[in-house]
Chains A and B, each alone.
Chain A
Amino acid sequence: MKNEPAYYNEKVKRAAHMLFFKRGRVPGARSWELKTGLGKGYAKVLEQLDESLKDLDLEVKKVDPQIVSDYKPRPDDGEEESRYFVRLKGTLAPKEARLCGWRIDNLAALAASLALVVSKQGKSERKEIETVIGNKAGRWRALTLMDTFLRSGYLEEDEEGLVKLGWRTRAELDLPSLMMLLAESKASPTEDIESIDEDHASMDG
Chain B
Amino acid sequence: MRAITSVARVVGLQSADLRFQSSALYVDPSMVKEKLDSLSREQLAEFLLLSWHPIVELEQLTLASTKEAKEFWEKMLSFFERRKRLHLGPFAMPETADLGELARMRVLDEKAYTTKMRDLWKELKERAGEDQRVDYWDFIGGSDFAQTIVRAQLVSFLVSYGYANLLRTGNSLFLVPKAKPDPHLEGSPLSFPIPITKEALVRAK
Chain A residues with CB under 8 Å of chain B are 20-24, 27-28, 58-59, 61, 68, 70-73, 85-94, 97, 100, 104-105, 107-108, 110-112, 114-116, 118-122, 132, 135-137, 168, 171-183, 185, 187-188, 190-192, 195-196
Chain B residues with CB under 8 A of A132? 33, 36
Q: List 16 A-B contacts (CB under 8 A).
A: A22-B60, A22-B62, A23-B64, A61-B55, A71-B16, A94-B45, A107-B45, A116-B32, A171-B55, A172-B52, A175-B51, A177-B50, A182-B32, A187-B43, A190-B40, A192-B40
Task: Evaluate contact between A179 and B24: CB separation under 8 angstroms.
Answer: yes
The CA of A185 and the CA of B40, in the complex, are separated in Å by 11
The CA of A107 and the CA of B43, in the complex, are separated in Å by 10
**B55 → chain A closest CB, angstroms:** 5
**B51 → chain A closest CB, angstroms:** 4
**B21 → chain A closest CB, angstroms:** 8
Chain A residues with CB under 8 A of B47? 111, 178, 181-182, 185
Chain A residues with CB under 8 A of B16? 70-72
Task: Evaluate contact between A91 and B39: CB separation under 8 angstroms.
Answer: no
Task: Evaluate contact between B33 and A107: CB separation under 8 angstroms.
Answer: no
Most chain A CB atoms below 10 A, which of B45, B49, B55: B55
Chain B residues with CB under 8 A of A71? 16, 19-20
The CA of A181 and the CA of B43, in the complex, are separated in Å by 10
